[in-house]
């Protein structure tokens, strides 16, 4: 009989983590509609705004989007969270994590602008109108939990204005160069989300709102009159709200939900896969301009 302790394992050598095969350029699973059918959201080349009263489920939806993105090997993450705890569990998966620091938030948006400008130069040089899924550059997801913290609460008026101007530029120009913004706000008022900013978000999700006016601010003016108000969502039905796309009508959606433990499990796995990938490959362009 052979001595198995002396056998050479065929699995020695550097370990290769099994990464997930998700792509950010494919639609992301968001939740279910009122008939129980799955709802998938194409988010590449688009942006999403999430609004609703405190506790409506905005952060949970943002976590679902960020969590799916962490498992995609073609997107880099840039996370802003004034509370640090809503998106904080994903920190190890992100290229940049910004907490309650408006100066750093502005600096990071400026860096993103540089990345966008470089990508536009690249597109021009190869006579292409937008980044393609298999181009050298992957997508970038900028997720912001509580836009109002940076645009209306922290810092002084000048800094808040600078933040808002930069954010508007990234939402407007990011699409063609695969920079996606997913932003949540607890205060859906027109001083935080002016219609000119709202209208350039291709997707809008209105969780329960305290009144019809707030619902219209997120979904777009006039939907309440047509019978779509997220004020009608049951306050105990967190994660439920109206989702509207660029040219569609609002649809009722119940967002998928990741518990704290789920997030820790997914985040640890995704961080491990990403760490290995970053060690093997070149520096990302977001890190490179830092
Ligand atoms: N899709 C969902 N399914 C089930 N429960 C949910 C869902 N989304 C949120 N919840 C529950 O609602 C609670 C509040 O959700 P969440 O923190 O996402 O709200 P929020 O709108 O971000 O609130 P805030 O503005 O205060 O941060 C969660 O802790 C969870 O218990």
pTM of the model: 0.88
Which of 193, 185, 203, 202 lies closest to 243 in space, CA to CA? 203
* Nearest atom of ligand 1 to the alpha carbon of 186: 25
Which residue's CA is the nearest one to ligand 1's atom 23? 55
Domain coordinates of the chain in residue numbers?
28-287
The Cα–Cα gap between 145 and 59 comes to 7
Q: What is the pLDDT of residues 1-13, one digit of tens each?
A: 444 445 555 556 5
The CATH number, out of the four listed (2.40.160.10, 2.160.10.10, 3.40.50.300, 3.40.1130.10), of the domain defined by the range 28-287: 3.40.50.300
Q: 99 C-alpha vs ligand 1 centroid, how far in Å?
A: 20
* 54 pLDDT above the threshold of 50: yes
* 276 pLDDT above the threshold of 90: no
Which residue's CA is the nearest one to ligand 1's atom 25? 54
The Cα–Cα gap between 276 and 127 comes to 33
What pLDDT does 290 receive? 41
* 115 pLDDT above the threshold of 70: yes
What pLDDT does 168 receive? 93
- For strands 179-185 and 48-51, give the pairing: parallel
What pLDDT does 236 receive? 92
What pLDDT does 128 receive? 86
Binding residues for ATP: 52-59
* 101 pLDDT above the threshold of 80: yes
Q: What is the pLDDT of residues 198-244, one digit of tens each?
A: 788 889 999 999 889 889 988 987 899 999 999 999 999 999 999 99
What pLDDT does 106 receive? 97
Q: 132 C-alpha vs ligand 1 centroid, how far in Å?
A: 34
Using the structure block, give the residue that is written with the tokens 């129980």: 36
* pLDDT more than 90, % of the chain: 63
* Nearest atom of ligand 1 to the alpha carbon of 254: 1
The Cα–Cα gap between 88 and 198 comes to 26
The Cα–Cα gap between 124 and 28 comes to 29
In 3-state terms the chain splits into helix, strand, coil percentages (rounded to 5) of: 40, 20, 40
* 175 pLDDT above the threshold of 50: yes
Mean pLDDT for 90-115 is: 96
pLDDT band at 26 (very low <50, low <70, confident <90, very high): very high
ipTM: 0.96
Whether 24 contacts 44, CB under 8 Å: yes
Length of the chain: 290
Residues in the ligand 1 pocket, defined by CB under 6 Å: 52, 54-60, 186, 207, 238-239, 255, 257
The Cα–Cα gap between 173 and 262 comes to 34
Q: 263 C-alpha vs ligand 1 centroid, how far in Å?
A: 14
**Residue 81 neighbours by CB distance under 10 Å:** 24
Q: Ligand 1 pocket check: which of 33, 38, 57, 153 to mutate, most ligand atoms within 8 Å of Cβ?
A: 57
* 285 pLDDT above the threshold of 60: no
């Amino acid at each position: 009989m052979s001595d198995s302790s002396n056998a050479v394992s065929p699995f020695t050598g550097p370990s290769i983590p099994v990464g997930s095969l998700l792509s950010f350029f494919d639609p992301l699973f968001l939740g279910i509609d009122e008939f129980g059918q799955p709802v998938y959201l194409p988010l590449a080349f688009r942006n999403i705004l999430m609004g609703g009263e405190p506790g409506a489920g905005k952060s949970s939806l943002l976590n679902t989007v960020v969590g799916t993105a962490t498992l995609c090997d073609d997107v880099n993450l840039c996370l802003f969270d004034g509370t640090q705890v809503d998106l904080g569990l994903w920190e190890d998966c992100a290229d940049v994590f910004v907490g309650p620091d408006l100066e750093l938030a502005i600096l990071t948006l400026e860096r993103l602008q540089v990345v966008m400008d470089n990508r536009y130069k690249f597109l021009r040089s190869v006579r292409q109108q937008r980044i393609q899924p298999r181009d050298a550059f992957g997508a970038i997801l900028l997720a912001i939990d509580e836009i109002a913290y940076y645009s209306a609460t922290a810092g002084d008026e000048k800094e808040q204005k600078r933040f808002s101007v930069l954010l508007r530029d990234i939402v407007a120009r990011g699409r063609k160069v695969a920079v996606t913004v997913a932003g949540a706000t607890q205060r859906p008022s027109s001083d935080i989300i002016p219609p000119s900013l709202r209208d350039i978000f291709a997707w809008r999700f209105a969780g329960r709102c305290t009144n019809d006016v707030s619902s219209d601010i997120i979904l777009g003016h006039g939907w309440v009159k047509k019978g779509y108000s997220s004020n009608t969502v049951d306050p105990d039905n967190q994660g439920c709200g109206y989702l509207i796309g660029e040219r569609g009508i609002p649809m009722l959606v119940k967002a998928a939900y990741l518990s704290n433990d789920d997030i820790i499990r997914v985040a640890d796995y995704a961080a491990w896969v990403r760490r290995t990938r970053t060690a093997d490959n070149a520096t990302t362009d977001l890190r490179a301009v830092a």
